[in-house]
């Protein structure tokens, strides 16, 4: 069941069409990737979900009901351009944001203690934000985003500014939040993290949805008869009419080849052909990275994969 749905959302700023009849459907308890180049309309969509601005037309549903102003208490939002009051103390600030989301002072305190301990930032409670490093401030902001236990959490580029150790911590926290029942919308340019985290994605360009679906299925459908073969010796594979070699790399006592099948030959037929060249240690269909798919969709402007 979809926890959040947007149907035919359109938003115009002056003469630019920021969103053009965009529809997305975010399944409950999943991580949903919102991809797209700069200026595609992601931030506009996120702002509409947060009810910072309203759509010109189209409808939004949360939990099957029409989105209403009081729903902001059920939504958590970590904007890409994040900020905290520089002169305010970390603890007070976190408390302030929690209270704005409707938590009582007492309840907010209890949860803050839990999160500060969990992320190992208890010592920063009395520090002013301007004394923190960028990564530290990001951690604080992460806490304020999830503190009110929202049903829907929107992360806009959550990993920028973090070192690899902290990226990992935050990644695990995001997975943990999904585990506990939260639904997450995740906007990013970092395709590696999309493959790693997202269950579903929508690729937006020029305010329109170019590609939508489960990450696995999208990658499979874009695979386009490509395979990766590993030989456990140095080999040279001759091309023939059945396939072409896209890439060939030799490592010590190992050769990895990426090839594209040109006919409708079965994998067995291809393998039997390759066996003549040497000893095969691995054979698998090559899934294109989300990065490739992203580039191909955005550059070709074609909404359908080319087969």
Partner 1 sequence: MSKISVIIEREYITRVRKKSFIIMTLLAPLLMAAVIVVPTLLMTNQDTEMKKIAVIEDKSDLFKNVIPNLKNTEFVYLENTRFEDLKNNFEQAGYYGVLYISPEVINVPEAVQMISRKQPPITLLEHIERSLEKEIERQKLLTYKIENLDEIMKNVRSKVSVQTIKLDSTGSVKQTSTGISMALAYINSFLIYILVFVFGSQVMRGVIEEKTSRVVEVIISSAKPVELMMGKIIGLALVGLTQFLIWIILTFGIVTVVKSSVFPKENVKTAVQSAPQDLMTRSMNIPQEQAEQITQQANNISPEFAKIFDSALNQPWGLIIFSFIFYFISGYLLYASIFAAIGSAVDNETETQQFMLPITIPIIFGLFVAMSTMQNPESSIAFWFSLIPFTSPIVMMARIPFGVPGWQLALSMVVLAATFVGFVWMAAKIYRTGILMYGKKTSWQEIWKWLRYKG
Q: Is 64 exposed, middle or buried (CB count within 10 Å of its CB: 0-12, 13-18, 19+)?
A: exposed
Measured torsion, CA atoms of residues 149, 37, 2, 216, in degrees rounded to the nearest 10: -110
Q: How far is the CB of 34 from partner 1 (least distance, A)?
A: 16
15 near partner 1, judged by CB under 8 A: no
Instruction: Pick the piece of the chain touching partner 1 (CB under 8 A) from 48-56, 114-122, 187-195, 256-264.
Output: 48-56
Binding of partner 1 by 138 (CB under 8 A): no
85-93, 187-195, 238-246, 274-282 -> range binding partner 1 (CB under 8 A)? 85-93
Applying CB under 8 A, does 32 fall inside the site for partner 1? no
Q: What is the DSSP letter of 101?
A: T
Q: How far apart are CA 118 and CA 189, in angstroms?
A: 28
Contact residue for partner 1 among 97, 222, 231, 294 (CB under 8 A): 97
- Residue 75 is inside which H or E element, if any? strand 75-78
83 near partner 1, judged by CB under 8 A: yes
Q: Rounded to whole angstroms, how far apart are CA atoms 277 and 150?
A: 57
Which window, 93-101, 235-243, 245-253, 272-280, contacts partner 1 (CB under 8 A)?
Answer: 93-101
Structure tokens at 211: 């590609």
List % helix, strand, coil for the chain (3-state, nearest 5).
35, 30, 35
Choose, by CB under 8 A, the member of 141, 190, 193, 255 that binds partner 1.
Answer: 141
Dihedral of the CA atoms 286, 155, 58, 195 (nearest 10)? 10
Nearer to partner 1, 69 or 238 (CB): 69
Q: Among the candidate windows 82-90, 166-174, 205-213, 240-248, which touches partner 1 by CB under 8 A? A: 82-90
Residues with Cβ < 8 Å from 286, sequence gap 6 or more?
223, 226, 227, 228, 258
Among the listed residues 56, 63, 107, 273, the single contact to partner 1 using CB under 8 A: 56
Site for partner 1 contains 106 (CB under 8 A): no
* Residues 45, 152 contacting (CB under 8 angstroms): no
CB of 80 to partner 1, least distance (A): 9
Spatial contact of 22 and 189, defined as CB atoms under 8 Å apart: no
Among 36, 79, 158, 288, binds partner 1 (CB under 8 A): 79
Which range binds partner 1 by CB under 8 A, 2-10, 97-105, 222-230, 272-280?
A: 97-105
- Given the rule CB under 8 A, which residues bind partner 1? 14, 47, 50-54, 56, 69, 72, 75, 77, 79, 81-88, 96-97, 99-102, 141, 144
């Amino acid at each position: 069941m979809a926890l959040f749905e947007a149907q035919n959302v359109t938003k115009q700023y002056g003469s630019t069409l920021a969103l053009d009849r965009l529809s997305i459907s975010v399944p409950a308890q999943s991580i949903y990737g919102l991809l797209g180049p700069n200026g595609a309309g992601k931030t506009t969509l996120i702002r509409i979900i947060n009810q910072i601005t309203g759509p010109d037309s189209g409808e939004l549903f949360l939990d099957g009901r029409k989105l209403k102003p009081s729903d902001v208490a059920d939504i958590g939002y970590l904007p890409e351009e994040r900020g905290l009051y520089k002169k305010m103390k970390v603890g007070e600030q976190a408390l302030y944001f929690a209270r704005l989301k409707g938590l009582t002072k007492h309840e907010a305190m209890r949860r803050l203690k839990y999160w500060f301990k969990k992320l190992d930032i208890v010592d920063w409670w009395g520090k002013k934000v301007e004394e923190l490093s960028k990564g530290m401030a990001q951690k604080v902001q992460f806490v304020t985003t999830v503190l009110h236990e929202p049903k829907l959490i929107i992360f806009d580029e959550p990993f920028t500014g973090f070192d690899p150790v902290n990226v990992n911590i935050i990644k695990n926290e995001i997975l943990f939040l999904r585990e506990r029942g939260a639904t997450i919308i995740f906007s990013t340019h970092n395709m590696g993290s999309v493959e790693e985290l997202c269950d579903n994605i929508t690729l937006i360009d020029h305010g329109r949805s170019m590609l939508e679906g489960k990450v696995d299925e999208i990658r499979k459908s874009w695979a386009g008869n490509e395979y990766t073969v590993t030989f456990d010796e140095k080999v040279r594979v001759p091309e023939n009419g059945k396939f072409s070699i896209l890439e060939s790399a030799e490592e010590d006592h190992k050769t990895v080849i990426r090839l594209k099948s040109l006919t409708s030959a079965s994998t067995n037929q291809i393998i039997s052909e390759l066996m003549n060249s040497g000893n095969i240690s691995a054979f698998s269909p090559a899934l294109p990275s989300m990065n490739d798919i992203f580039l191909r969709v955005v550059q070709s402007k074609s909404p359908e994969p080319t087969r």
